[in-house]
Amino acid sequence: MIENNTIFLIPLMPLVGFLINGLLGKGLRRSTIGMVACAMPVISFAVALSLFIKFSQFGLECDLTFRQIMIPWIGVGSIGVPFGFAVDHLTIAMTLMITGVGSLIHIYATGYMSHDRSPERFFAYMNLFMFSMLVLVLADNILLMFVGWEGVGLCSYLLIGYWYEDILNAKAGKKAFVTNRVGDFGFLLGILLIFALMTGNGTPSLSFAKINEVIPKFAPVTYEVPVIGGSIGAVTLICLLLFVGAAGKSAQIPLYVWLPDAMARPTPVSALIHAATMVTSGVYMIARLAPVFMASPAALSVVATIGAVTALFAATIAVTQNDIKKVLAYSTISQLGYMFLAMGVAAFGAGIFHLITHAFFKACLFLCAGSVMHAMAGELDMQKMGGLRKWMPITFWTMLVSTMAISGWPLFAGFFSKDEILWKTLEKGMTSQQGTLFYVLYGIGLLAAVFTAFYMFRLVVLTFLGKPRMSEETQKHLHESPSSMTIPLMILAFLAAVGGFMWLPGVIGHGKFAWFHDFLAIREPAAHGAHDMAGAEWTSLALSVALALGASGLSYLVYTRGRSAVEKLAKTVYLTRAMYRFSLNKYWVDEIYEAFVIKPIYYGSIALWLFVDVVIIDGLVNLAGILVKWGSTIFRNLQTGFIGSYAVTVLVGVLVVLWYLILQVLK
Amino acid sequence: MEHLIAEMKPLSPVLIVFTGALAALLAGVFSKKENSYALPYIGITTVAFAFVALLNYWGRGMIWLLQGAIRIDSFGLYISAIILIACLITFLASIGYAKRLGFEHGEYISLLLFASGGMMLLAMSADLVTLFLSLEIMSISIYALAGMARHRQKCNEAALKYFILGAFSTAFLLFGIALIYGATASTKIHAIAQVQGLKPLLVAGLGMLIVGFGFKVGAAPFHVWVPDAYEGAPATVTGFMAVAVKAAGFAALLRVILIAFPGTWAEYWWPVFWAVALLTMFLGNIIAVFQKNVKRMLAYSGIAHTGYILIGLVSLGIAGSEPYIPGMKALMNPIAGGMLFYLLAYTFMTLGAFAVISLAARDEDDLETLDDFSGLSQRKPVVALAMAVFLISMAGVPPFGGFIAKFYVFKGAIDVQGMLLASGVKEYHALALAILGIITSMFSVYYYLRVVWFMYFREPLEDRPSVAPSWGLHFVIFASSVAIVVLGILPSGFFSVASRGAEALVR
């Protein structure tokens, strides 16, 4: 632990930006608002970079934590929770990504939002989001993390419903908020259980360092499960509750439904919140509490399974969507699934690696989509695009690079990170006792990768290649976006292309070109005899490459040449038609939730209102009121105003008092 | 003579007040009618001097005067301070008001000062004869004050009723004193406890005293005079009656009951007060619910407050009758301190509320029906806000003084109950009283908030021309609301002063 008193600047700057634009924004000029909003994350990035340089001075493999305790925050009984920040390797990686990608997106937004009516509100929310996200990441205790966690949820809600004049946007914001509440409930229960165990152990602290040290010791403790019977480990229960929170925030099955709807927001928000940063906070939380999760193999298996299934499930939906942002939304859910798969196989470093590369290419993809929308006057339907390459070369090329990255083309960032996850899964299958599960998950992961390459190339082909399908009128207005938008695109595309070289696979780099792996230094189980399995790793690599390239090529062929054949297939053959329908309608999950969750709660609450509230509670309250009214009327009439009756009242009182006292004395 | 003067020196606060009363009376007679505006300032100056003299004796221990007829101690000084505050507020609020109602005479100032002097003497009396005399100085002044606005029929009626019933109850008090003297051959309050007199006679005297004091503090079933007198009397006088008479009455009650009948004597009196407190809280709160006249509503609410304060006395009685329980004695001083704190908080909120009422609605009537309060927040926003503070404080809602006062009193009862249960005594009288007190105070929220509702959610009625209130009235309303907030937020300093005050009765 090294004290460092500059950490607080990182979250403080965006807060300052929020206050300036939020309080004074109405009176500021458009350019000033944008300048303030962009300057703050850039300064934060610079501070984070200076911290990173300090880390490298100590040597990258040296396991350090910088810490800054601001003020005591909550002191109740034996527990004291400070308002404190802690920065270790994991944190600084996240912080650099958030402030770096965040700054680029802010710059992009100054161009994208140039025609908006109230930019000060938009940028105030964006900066507030940056503040909350940085608090979430930098927090040195789980309670402060929860503050940031709720803060980002709030900002997400505010920004999804940013164009609130449209009721659909407001509804999407509400859906995101309510779905996240379900997850947050689990997270909060997990925190409370941690708190109970920590105080019970005599170490009343909620700092991550202490939690990671103490909680794994509770692995042998089990709780009886009432009603169902059986028992559950204390640590497993904590991990599952925390994972419910992570699944809500990071859009995993079954709580992913809010993310596609949330595409109503301005596109920079999609790129910042719902691709690069906020949705990854669930992954970050698990990585932060890695030792706790390591203590519960059962919970890890659940995490891995949910992650892999989500990866495939979302990818199959993305294949048939026509809304360009919906495709990217399902793609995000799918990629987050990969990250959870990595967490579940205890490959925490690989998961964070994918988180970072995903931030590069997915932010780039969203911003490209935004650039397309900007040119097409808000059009989202890919069926009405096509041939845009001619008008928007920069957007096309950057998008193509990012697409190759996400599809896993060799040497692009996504190839290295995704392949690392798949390989770790396979390795786990080969080494652990319950190998079958992980072999199956590996297969699911591969299949999802095939779908990923397919739908991403479908997107690029439909949007940029082929014949233009938009109206003549629209074609006249087509233009490349301004440089404030294209420069961030190029930077992100560059990172998407080369970002993978931070961590080369073991068989290629032989452990030498993997500084990011060393840097993260999250305790992972040592790979048993990695060299013996070099052959397997090579095979896995080759398989991924072949599938990625094959699926990309197939997609290209299908959507440039054989569209009519595919459409015929989707409409005639019984099996393919059914599959097409399932995918297009997103497996009717929203409808199922509506029928089995939302409607019962809705009608249940109406019943509670009409019976419990109106009849019982209001009835009791009114009854009390009526009784008092009667009493009041009776007693009021005793106050006649006649002095004689008053005197009699007093006299009766005197007699009763005397009678009682004399009886007492004589007793 | 010199010896006498030296001995009378500690009595200077009371003597200053009486001197001021005489000066005001003479000034009233010899000054012209145009100069009558100066009269309240005589009163204000007198009170200020008396207050300084009083502070001079705070913390000097107890001083016996006039062969033990008077004892100047922290309790008497605390109550005297409350009375002087009440008197000062009444003077300030009367500026302008008295003229409008046509009683801006020297007698008004003089009578207020005489009443205050009598009350202070009452709080310091150590002898039943002195006590009775000072009670009469107070009562007769108040009877006259209640009828001050001669042109109002209701006012005359109120004064007459108050006088007749007052005489009726004073008879019981005097009879009680006579019985006690018969039983113990002494009128010294501090001596009665030591005398092994005729027990039945003594207890009958105790009962008579309870009735007499119960009348003065407005405890049921001896409260019957309160609604008519409060409603009829001019608003400033009503405020003074409600606060100062109650404070003085409680002073006499507490001193006589706790000093003359301490310890296990309490087994006789606490059940009586238990029943009285319960009846007082219930009747006061329930009847207040449907009053359309705010003055009358405040009269019933004043009765209810008496009930809450009596909870403290019952707790003291229960604690005193179980002297063998360890730790019980330590509870007694905070309970008595809580009662005295309650009187202080009650002073500000009641006088503030009556000051608002004395703002004219029509030419010379008080602002007293609920309709008069309609839309007050639009006509006089600051006054309406202050009134809301007073009423919400009376309802016992934080962060105002009324909440803290109720909290101390209820907490005292619950502490005593906890101590009883801890030592294995399975009787629940204290707890029951606290719970019933809380339930009845829930009723009170309705009628207090109803006034607030009228002020804020009703449109103002057209035919309510308003008179510009004087600076004194504004100052009183402002200062009282500030005091209520301060008492609610920083109560501990005031509570420790109140506990010092209570040390003279229970340690």
Q: Do B161 and A646 touch (CB under 8 A)?
A: yes
Read off the tokens for A385: 């695009």
- H/E run at residue A71: strand A66-76
What is d(CA B262, CA B316) in angstroms, rounded to the nearest whole number?
10
Does some domain include residue B308?
yes
Cα–Cα distances in angstroms (integers) from residue B331 to residues B312, B315, B336, B338, B430, in the given order: 11, 9, 9, 11, 13
What is d(CA B446, CA B452) in angstroms, rounded to the nearest whole number?
10
Cis peptide before A254 (omega within 30 of 0): yes
Closest by Cβ to B207, choosing from A629, A636, A657: A657
Q: Do A652 and B221 touch (CB under 8 A)?
A: yes
Strand A231-233 to A222-224 pairing: antiparallel
Over residues A351-355, mean pLDDT: 91
* Other CB atoms within 10 Å distance of the CB of residue A70: 13
What is d(CA A336, CA A340) in angstroms, rounded to the nearest whole number?
6
Give, to the nearest 10 degrees, the angle between helix A324-344 and helix A435-464. 160
Q: Do A635 and B286 touch (CB under 8 A)?
A: yes
- H/E run at residue B87: helix B74-94
Q: What is the pLDDT of residue A521?
A: 59
Residue owning tokens 């009847």: B287
Q: Do A631 and B208 touch (CB under 8 A)?
A: no
Cα–Cα distances in angstroms (integers) from residue B307 to residues A174, A448, B334, B465, in the given order: 51, 77, 18, 38
- Whether the pLDDT of residue B121 is over 70: the answer is yes
Read off the tokens for B335: 């309970």
Does some domain include residue B405?
yes
Strand A79-87 to A66-76 pairing: antiparallel
* Other CB atoms within 10 Å distance of the CB of residue A433: 7
- Whether the pLDDT of residue A461 is over 80: the answer is yes
Residue owning tokens 């003077």: B91
Over residues B278-293, mean pLDDT: 90
**Hey, of B289, B297, B440, which one would you mutate to test binding to chain A, going by the most A CBs within 10 A of its CB?**
B289
Residue B360: pLDDT band (50, 70, 90) is low
Q: Do A628 and B210 touch (CB under 8 A)?
A: no
- Whether the pLDDT of residue B154 is over 50: the answer is yes
Q: What is the pLDDT of residue A524?
A: 61
Q: Would you call B366 exposed, middle or buried from its count of C-beta atoms within 10 A (0-12, 13-18, 19+)?
A: buried
* Other CB atoms within 10 Å distance of the CB of residue B100: 16
A71: number of CA atoms within 13 Å, CB side?
2
Over residues B79-93, mean pLDDT: 95
- Whether the pLDDT of residue B362 is over 70: the answer is no
In tens, the pLDDT along A400-428 reads 999 999 998 888 888 888 988 998 888 88
In three-state secondary structure terms, A86 is: strand
- Domains of chain B: total: 1
Read off the tokens for B51: 């207050």
Residue A83 backbone zone (phi > 0: left; psi -120 to 50: alpha; other: beta): beta
Closest by Cβ to A643, choosing from B161, B227, B271: B161
Interface residue ranges in chain A relative to chain B, Cβ cutoff 8 Å: 625, 628-629, 631-633, 635-636, 639, 641, 643, 646-647, 649-650, 652-654, 657-658, 660-662, 664-666
**Hey, of A623, A632, A642, A663, which one would you mutate to test binding to chain B, going by the most B CBs within 10 A of its CB?**
A632
How close A614 comes to chain B (CA, Å)? Answer: 20
Mean residue pLDDT of chain B comes to 90
* Other CB atoms within 10 Å distance of the CB of residue A478: 17
Q: Which residues of A touch B161 (CB under 8 A)?
A: 643, 646
Q: What is the pLDDT of residue A529?
A: 47
Closest by Cβ to B203, choosing from A628, A641, A661: A661
Closest by Cβ to A658, choosing from B168, B207, B227: B207
User: Could you say which DSSP state residue B372 is in?
Assistant: G
Q: What is the pLDDT of residue A466?
A: 81
Q: Which residues of B touch A666 (CB under 8 A)?
A: 200
What is d(CA B31, CA B24) in angstroms, rounded to the nearest whole number?
10
Does some domain include residue B227?
no
Of A114-128, A299-313, B395-409, the range with the lowest mean pLDDT is A114-128
* Other CB atoms within 10 Å distance of the CB of residue A27: 8
Q: What is the pLDDT of residue B152?
A: 83
In tens, the pLDDT along A537-592 reads 888 888 888 888 988 888 888 888 767 777 777 777 777 788 888 888 888 888 88
Does some domain include residue B482?
yes
In tens, the pLDDT along B416-447 reads 999 999 888 888 999 999 999 999 998 899 99
Residue owning tokens 């609410």: B301
B443 touching chain A per CB within 8 A: yes
Does some domain include residue B446?
yes
User: Do residues B166 and B213 lie in contact, with contact meaning Cβ atoms separated by under 8 Å?
Assistant: no
B392 is in which domain, residue-wise? 262-507
Residue owning tokens 């949007």: A463
In tens, the pLDDT along B457-496 reads 988 877 665 667 788 888 999 999 999 999 998 998 999 9
In tens, the pLDDT along B44-78 reads 999 999 999 999 888 888 889 888 899 999 999 99
Q: What is the pLDDT of residue B133?
A: 95
Q: Do A639 and B227 touch (CB under 8 A)?
A: yes
User: Could you say which DSSP state residue A206 is in?
Assistant: -
Over residues A155-167, mean pLDDT: 84
Task: Look up the pTM and report it.
Answer: 0.67
- Whether the pLDDT of residue B213 is over 50: the answer is yes
**Hey, of A621, A639, A652, which one would you mutate to test binding to chain B, going by the most B CBs within 10 A of its CB?**
A639
Q: Do B228 and A641 touch (CB under 8 A)?
A: yes
User: Do residues B495 and B364 lie in contact, with contact meaning Cβ atoms separated by under 8 Å?
Assistant: no
What is d(CA A330, CA A322) in angstroms, rounded to the nearest whole number?
12
Over residues A358-387, mean pLDDT: 87
In tens, the pLDDT along B168-178 reads 999 999 999 99
Q: Which percentage of chain B shows pLDDT scores above 90?
A: 63
Range list of H helices, A380-434: 393-407, 413-431
B168 touching chain A per CB within 8 A: yes
In tens, the pLDDT along A231-248 reads 888 899 999 999 999 999
Mean residue pLDDT of chain A comes to 86
Does some domain include residue B463?
yes
User: Do residues B304 and B436 lie in contact, with contact meaning Cβ atoms separated by under 8 Å?
Assistant: no
Residue B134: pLDDT band (50, 70, 90) is very high
How close B272 comes to chain A (CA, Å)? Answer: 7
DSSP A553-580: HHHHHHHHT-HHHHHHHHHSSHHHHHHH
Range list of H helices, B256-327: 266-288, 294-320
In tens, the pLDDT along B190-208 reads 888 887 666 888 899 999 9
Q: Which residues of A touch B227 (CB under 8 A)?
A: 639
In tens, the pLDDT along A587-641 reads 888 888 888 888 888 899 999 988 888 889 899 988 988 888 888 888 888 777 7
Residue owning tokens 């009363």: B21
Does some domain include residue B98?
no
Q: Work out how many CB contacts closer than 8 A connect A with B.
A: 80
Does some domain include residue B149?
no
Q: Which residues of B touch A631 (CB under 8 A)?
A: 286
User: Do residues A470 and A384 lie in contact, with contact meaning Cβ atoms separated by under 8 Å?
Assistant: yes
